């Protein structure tokens, strides 16, 4: 980034400084609670947590100027080293080349008292790639930010607000897979209370935490640096699962050499999943989309890398061996803002998806 003379700019505000300026803008003449109700025009008010992203003009919602975009879902990505915010871009840069991958971070929560959009506000605040027509965006209601919430007496007249954020993120891919094996009647070696333990269930600080860095300010979900893939162990031993030939022997259950557990239309017993016809956007997956089958753990604990064998596919289809589990530290969950003073007035909490 450079000025009009081509001289590179060097000083940029931190997220915490930007947050302080925003609070001043909203707090220099704070509205009353009655004024906020009036702004909502009869729509319900709530304490809504938004993810936000700065976008330049071509990528903004309206395409007329750079702006902040608000979403009910935010993304905090994987990485092997600590997070870094590119101040000059007011946003994220993709990791560069090299053996280490830096964790990008996302400003994951702007607190807003918001209401469902009426027709007038729909035109001012609208979704990206707005869909017109029956049963599309013009007939839906959206939470619209009308005021930023922050702690202190400057936010809303007559209130000394105390805001707190909490998050819950989890990765239960392996637990879901082993439950799926039982439901479908395939061979299984782990169930019950074991599935509540790491690494069947990975939660919170092992995935991401709300940042405590002063320069980041409040509301940033920061991923925990971790290897992109890890050999799973449990109780001091390699964590494996049995490769059932009734499962892998059907080519429909494989994507090349990976196991492909999928939801099916059948209501009882094992059946043949068909990716294109049994899957929809509204179907919750009962298990990870793919699982690795290509590392066979032998009785002596050694690992046989099937990638090096010409008969790999025949071994996979024949099954009857223990396959090594692998984990990553992705996760899904939510971030939620609490404000006791406003909750006492009946305002519900609407979390953001993380």
Between CA 85 and CA 68 the distance in angstroms is 16
Alpha helices per DSSP H over the chain: 15-27, 33-39, 119-124, 173-184, 245-248, 275-278, 312-318, 340-343
Give the model's pLDDT for residue 28. Answer: 94
Give the model's pLDDT for residue 104. Answer: 41
Between CA 126 and CA 146 the distance in angstroms is 14
Percent of the chain past pLDDT 90, that is, above it, reads: 38
Between CA 115 and CA 141 the distance in angstroms is 9
The 10s digit of each residue's pLDDT in 39-80 is 888 888 889 888 877 778 888 888 888 887 887 777 766 677
Between CA 212 and CA 220 the distance in angstroms is 9
The 10s digit of each residue's pLDDT in 145-185 is 888 899 999 999 999 999 998 999 999 999 999 999 999 99
Q: Determine the 3-state secondary structure of 350 from DSSP.
A: strand
Asked if the model's pLDDT at residue 125 lies above 50, the reply is yes
Q: Over the chain, what is the mean pLDDT?
A: 81
Q: Determine contact, residues 11/19, Cβ cutoff 8 Å.
A: no
pTM of the model: 0.79
**CA angle at 210 for the pair 207 and 213, rounded to the nearest 5°:** 115
Give the model's pLDDT for residue 267. Answer: 44
The 10s digit of each residue's pLDDT in 187-237 is 999 999 999 999 999 999 999 888 888 888 888 888 888 888 999 999 999
Asked if the model's pLDDT at residue 116 lies above 60, the reply is no
Both structure tokens of 33: 């609670």
Q: How confident is the model at residue 297 (pLDDT cuts 50, 70, 90)?
A: very high
Within 10 angstroms of residue 311's Cβ, the number of other Cβ atoms is 9
Q: Say if residue 218 is exposed, middle or buried (CB neighbours under 10 Å; 0-12, 13-18, 19+).
A: buried
The 10s digit of each residue's pLDDT in 249-287 is 988 888 888 998 875 444 444 454 455 555 555 556 778
Report which of 201, 168, 147 is spatially closest to residue 347, judged by C-alpha positions: 147
So where are the chain's domains? Answer: 15-165+332-353, 171-202+227-327
Q: What average pLDDT does the segment 299-322 reach?
A: 95
Cis peptide upstream of residue 199 (ω within 30 degrees of 0): yes
Q: How confident is the model at residue 107 (pLDDT cuts 50, 70, 90)?
A: very low
Q: Determine contact, residues 273/260, Cβ cutoff 8 Å.
A: yes
Q: Determine contact, residues 161/342, Cβ cutoff 8 Å.
A: yes
User: Would strands 46-55 and 349-350 be described as parallel, antiparallel, or unpaired?
Assistant: parallel
Per the rule left: phi > 0, alpha: psi between -120 and 50, beta: everything else, 6 is left
Percent of the chain past pLDDT 70, that is, above it, reads: 80
Asked if the model's pLDDT at residue 92 lies above 60, the reply is no
């Amino acid at each position: 980034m450079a000025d009009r003379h081509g001289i590179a700019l060097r000083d940029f505000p931190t997220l915490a400084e930007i947050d302080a300026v925003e609070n001043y803008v909203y707090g220099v003449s704070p509205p009353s609670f009655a004024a906020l109700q009036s702004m909502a025009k009869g729509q319900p008010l709530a304490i809504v947590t938004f993810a936000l992203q700065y976008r330049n003009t071509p990528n903004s919602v309206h395409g007329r100027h750079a702006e902040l975009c608000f979403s009910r879902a935010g993304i905090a990505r994987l990485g092997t080293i600590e997070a870094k915010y590119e101040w000059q871009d007011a946003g994220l840069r993709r990791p560069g080349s090299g053996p280490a991958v830096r964790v990008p971070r996302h400003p994951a929560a702007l607190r807003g008292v918001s209401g469902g959009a009426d027709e007038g506000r729909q035109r001012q605040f609208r979704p990206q790639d707005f869909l017109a027509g029956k049963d599309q965006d013009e007939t839906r209601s959206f939470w619209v930010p009308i005021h930023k919430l922050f702690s202190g007496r400057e936010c809303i007249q007559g209130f000394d607000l105390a805001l707190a954020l909490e998050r819950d993120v989890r990765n239960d891919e392996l637990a879901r897979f082993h439950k799926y094996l039982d439901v479908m009647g395939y061979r299984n070696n782990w169930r019950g209370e074991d599935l509540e333990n790491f690494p069947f269930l990975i939660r919170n600080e092992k995935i991401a935490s709300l940042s405590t860095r002063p320069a980041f300010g409040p509301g940033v979900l920061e991923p925990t640096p971790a290897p992109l893939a890890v050999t799973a162990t449990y109780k001091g031993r390699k964590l494996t699962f049995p490769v059932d030939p009734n499962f892998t022997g059907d080519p429909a259950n494989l994507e090349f050499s990976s196991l492909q557990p999928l939801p099916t239309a059948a209501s009882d017993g094992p059946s043949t999943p068909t990716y294109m016809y049994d899957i929809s956007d509204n179907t919750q997956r009962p298990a990870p989309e793919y699982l690795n089958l290509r590392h066979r753990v032998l009785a002596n604990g050694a690992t046989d890398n099937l990638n090096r064998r010409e008969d790999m596919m025949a071994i996979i289809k024949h099954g009857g061996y223990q396959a090594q589990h692998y984990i990553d530290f992705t996760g899904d969950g939510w971030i939620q803002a609490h404000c006791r003073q406003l909750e006492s007035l009946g305002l519900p909490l609407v979390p953001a998806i993380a």
